[in-house]
Structure 1
């Protein structure tokens, strides 16, 4: 049985293909479109993955989405408990539109309603860890901002009975939303909760614990609820509302991203972390009482809180705790596929796969390394023993980029897309933060340590391979290893064994031979705000533009940067390569800066052969060497664009909004785009400020009548199935 799991569109989009219970690939959208927490309703990445693994779309038995729009009535029932009037009406329209969309995107890609099945969001999270584990019996805790109608799920899972839901917490009550609001008040954005967790170690939780405990009330079992006193029929408990109507009133104005961090910021972070830990610890205790299991698995976005996971571990509630590397919504794609396989497989011979390593992403394109190096002005040499070479350079205090094989899934580099350092080298943390990662120096790095040496450095002995659980450093090592230690003396450790990652394990052993230390500093191979690199070109460009001393890709070694041509990794430049090279009309709707950047990429860099710019309404005209046309209405745009075989519309909002937001789906821009397509425009793309480039031909019709056949954009992938 072949099952495709999909989180298509919105944040953390991902596709996972499972054959007979075992994943063939897990492809995260952000690695391909280079937009952090990548979202795109264009599912080309999925079809590329199928082609790479020799699977035709027609070979797929079922397509599983990690969301069940059958729970919309329950979501609306919950909304009626805290919203009334216009606020309830808006929420109802949003819910009724948004939740079926994940299903419809896949049906519109050609799979058809009969093959697309829906899996409850938190059940997908639970399945993603239980069906990847070696355990016959496990308790599972899933926590995030929200699914369809749940923000938390407690489950008891056994191989005999499958997943049994013990408890759920419904909206608006959300630990994930609470922690996200803390993060946004501190001046950061979506997906940056790790900064809040790190900053919390510098604060005093007692100062504001009472204030935040009053906002999110927690009972003795760990079940939580927002303060009902906030409900006035209009307050929806969104992140923005929590920031402006709760946090700013209690703690002052939201910090601006580039402002300094004062002590009260650190104290609010500490209080938020304290409350999060209290919830996680109490829920784990409740699960132990109700299941009697010896193993705890933690999933959902909150499971990235490695400090909370470490507290549960240190308390010894369960003999075993496991937190897998891809616990965010991206991991729900694999969970949905595994759950569907185990529910639908009728042969009686279920295959229980166990995740023994996280290397399920795309293989590095080593066949293009020469071409990429030449484009970057770099020369490399082949190396007989790259592990020994890297170890020698690390022992000398150099910063080493290390790229091998298939990429890790999840946000942590675990030895195939890593930037490495000698953790005992004085100043190494400052160097990597300032010269390579370009981030705040108070943020520490993580250690990769040989399994057999773990207890030498840490108060732990069991394997902790995924950098998802912190463990305390032994007192005698804290000063020497401050580069990988949090200020509280813990570290987000990753153990490495020969079976987990043989080549990376050998690198650390070679390093130990030279230094006596079975550990290296390990951080993800990316710059600030970027996803982990996907290609040789991206790795070489970051090497050339940063303070990295050495780069090893496969058996190729790069050290000399004297001829390097430094180039950026702007997602727009990368994604615009999708555009066919034909005459193109660039349509500037709003946002002069976005329009100018796109002009520079598409026009001045000649991504397409010839171009003209159409400026709609009272907009600032971008600087452009070619033809500029001004129109005052969508009708004028239609008349102008109708003469071009290819049109690129520069939209002012996320390109995914035209699927997930009804106002955008029915906007003048969308309707004009449909008219252009129906009038014969060959290709029409939407480009958003994040750099996403989406072929609009098919997704513009996702919410129209039941799709039939194979859409034009993906037809070439379906051909093998039709022969």
Structure 2
């Protein structure tokens, strides 16, 4: 196979590319070690769409002048080509702008599923599920058997609408704010609002969840709710409307049941399963899936921002190479990389946090994926009764109903949350133990849950040391954690972005490596 060795990488350079319609990203393996860049972090434009020039620029930055294999997923969105219906990958002619290396085209959903390789050995996966807004060939749902094999099997392809699109539509009807081109962010905002209503179980029982499919929009446009069709009811889609909140909770429960039914059609609870795609960012539905499928894996980059990693895995599989190194994952983003904070720096941060201060934390290298996991975070003491409101009003300026997550020491997690295993990537909304909820009000959502990130002793982030010191100081093994970014912007990638943010909002302190900015007064 083009003279590549059966074992070992030698001096091979492999490239995975996704420029798509948004969230462009590139991944490069140099001798089996992976580098990754997402263009939004480098441009400061959320969901940025780049061109092939971005790919070339990153290869130059990384000092790579020769490529031995290229894989891309494009769906012909940029004229690079696409896999036909039923094709998961194919060898194609080289893309002129990227050189003459052997080149593969990868199906969008297959690349999503393969992108789970940093958190699971794809050779051990029995099934892969992808659900998102639109894959190649109009796919919204795809199921693949043995996704890590050289000849995987396409089990299911479905072009009916995904639940993410319905949540996005509800966000539009609520008139939620979104930067033009970033309408996909609306689904996450709606996800937080669904916890404030009561599920109408009689309504749920009246719906055939397995047959929803193209009828998803009927909930807004056709199906009566308490005697009237929602879209025909004046001022219905308002968070202050109790009937709307109940409707939203009920519809979200139906979407969860629909997703469960979809998984149950193909998977047994004992199977090793990968789940990716934009809808895999819904932490409420994820929690229900994790409870039923204990061997389920979901990557922190399950949306389009992880597709280049899936393309890279396709090359590895087809060339018969060993697994890539996952050292340092998920802190792979190619941006400003800070030296590790000293104990003195951490002690200063802990002192401020214990005083109830809002602290920005820009350390190490940035995370892969849309969530801050301790290197590009804003931290706060979760015991603050007005913490969520202060953070919203002074810094984040977002919808009041949206919850904040928590970074928790792994070994102490079961004392506070109904969670007995790791949750490294903040992908589950787990119940807070009832007797503990009043102690940590800033992170407990309306339904008693919290989006949890556990950090073990081997976690490759300084956030572990920060929380350990905070525990020593206060007895509390966790911190409120939200992303270090402004509304409508990606997570920050440079010191300059952080400094501008600190100057524009009322954050108390900012730690960038061992440089500390503290607001006076």
For 2:38, the equivalent position in structure 1 comes to 28
State the shift of 1:243 in Å. 6.8
1:394-414 Cα offsets, whole Å, 9 max, x none, are 111111100011100111100
Does 1:251 find its partner at 2:226?
no
Match of 2:165 among 156, 166, 177: 177
Q: Give me the whole-angstrom Cα distance separating, in 2, the residues matched to 1:28 and 1:412.
A: 14
Instruction: Provide, for residues 538-560 of structure 1, a one-character-per-residue CA deviation record: whole Å limited to 9, x for no partner.
Output: 10111121121011000111114
Aligned to 2:108: 121
- Return closer, same or farther for 1:183/1:209 CA change in 2, 3 Å cut-off: farther
C-alpha change, 1:8 and 1:454, in structure 2 (3 Å) is: same
For residue 306 of structure 2, what is the aligned residue in structure 1? 331
> Which residue in 1 is equivalent to 2:288?
311
SS of aligned partner of 2:439 = coil
**2:214 corresponds to:** 226
Q: Tell me the residue number matched to 1:154.
A: 143
Q: Is the 8 A contact 2:75 2:108 kept in 1?
A: yes
CA contact (8 A) 1:181 1:242 kept: no
- Aligned-partner Cα distance in 2 for 1:548–1:488: 28
Residue in 2 that maps onto 1:206: 200
Q: CA deviation at 1:225?
A: 2.2
TM-score (norm 1): 0.62
Given that 1:198 and 1:443 are in contact with CA atoms closer than 8 Å, whether structure 2 keeps it comes out as yes
| Secondary structure of the corresponding residue to residue 456 of structure 1 | helix
Query: Are 1:45 and 2:32 matched, yes or no?
Result: no
Match of 2:329 among 347, 357, 361: 357
**Kept after mapping to 2: 8 A contact 1:402/1:553:** yes
Deviations 1:564-587 (A, max 9, x none): xxxxxxxxxxxxxxxxxxxxxxxx
Residue 377 of structure 2 is aligned with which of 418, 439, 460? 418
Change (3 A) 1:209 1:364: farther
With over 3 angstroms needed to count, the CA separation of the structure-2 counterparts of 1:158 and 1:529, relative to structure 1, is: closer
Judged with a 3 Å threshold, the aligned counterparts in structure 2 of structure 1 residues 138 and 500 are, in CA distance, closer, same or farther, namely farther
Conservation of the 8 A alpha-carbon contact between 1:7 and 1:65: yes
Change (3 A) 1:187 1:387: same
The structure 1 residue matched to 2:350, chosen from 387, 391, 407, is 391
In the alignment, is residue 192 of structure 1 matched against residue 190 of structure 2? no
Counterpart of 2:49 in 1: which secondary structure? coil
Q: 2:17 aligns with which of 2, 6, 16?
A: 6
| Residue 338 to residue 442, structure 1, CA distance change in 2 (3 Å) | same
* 8 Å contact kept, 2:168–2:187: yes
Q: Does 1:481 align with 2:440?
A: yes
Per-residue deviation, residues 371-416 of structure 1 (Å, max 9, x unmatched):
xxxxxxxxxxx97622222112111111110001110011110011
RMSD (Å), alpha carbons: 3.3
Question: In 2, are the aligned partners of 1:401 and 1:418 still within 8 Å (CA)?
Answer: yes
Verify the 8 A CA contact 2:300 2:427 in the aligned structure 1.
yes
Structure of greater Rg: 1
Q: Distance in 1 between matches of 2:144 and 2:316?
A: 19
SS in 1 for 2:412: helix
Q: Would you say 1:54 and 2:63 are equivalent positions?
A: yes
Instruction: Identify if the C-alpha distance between structure 1 residues 208 and 49 changes in structure 2 by more than 3 Å, giving closer, same or farther.
Output: farther
CA shift, 1:143, in A, is 0.7
The answer to whether the Cα contact below 8 Å between 1:384 and 1:555 also exists between their aligned partners in 2 is: no
2:474 to 515, 537, 545: 515
CA contact (8 A) 2:145 2:152 kept: yes
| Alpha-carbon separation, structure 1, partners of 2:232 and 2:334 | 43
Counterpart CA distance in 2 for 1:558 and 1:254 is 50
Query: 1:311: how far off?
Result: 1.3
In the other structure, the counterpart of 1:682 is none
Higher helix share: 1
Check if 1:546 corresponds to 2:518: no
Q: Could you say which residue in structure 1 is the equivalent of 2:490?
A: 531
Kept in 1, the 8 Å contact 2:133–2:140? The answer is yes
Report the more deviating stretch, 195-204 or 258-267: 258-267
TM-score, length basis structure 2:
0.85
Matches within 5 A, 1:607-646: none
Deviates more, 1:59-68 or 1:190-199: 59-68
Q: SS at 1:478's partner residue?
A: helix
Q: Distance in 2 between matches of 1:255 and 1:398?
A: 42
The residue aligned with 2:6 is none
Q: Which runs of 5+ in 2 are unaligned?
A: 1-11, 177-182
CA distance in 2, matches of 1:283, 1:355: 34
Change (3 A) 1:502 1:534: closer
1:258-283 CA-to-partner distances (Å, cap 9, x unmatched) read 97642233233223311221122223
Flag the 1:35–1:549 CA change in 2: closer, same or farther, 3 A.
same
* Cα contact 2:197–2:242 (8 A) shared by 1: yes
**Conserved 8 A contact 1:200-1:273:** yes
Number of the residue aligned with 2:9: none
Shift of 1:64: 2.0
Deviation at 1:159, TM superposition (A): 5.4
CA distance in 1, matches of 2:397, 2:153: 45
* 8 Å Cα contact 1:139-1:155 kept in structure 2: yes
Structure 2 vs 1, CA of residues 71 and 480 (structure 1 numbering), >3 Å: closer, same or farther? same
Which SS does the other structure have where 1:252 is aligned?
Answer: helix
- Residue 53 of structure 1 and its aligned partner are, at CA, apart by 2.1
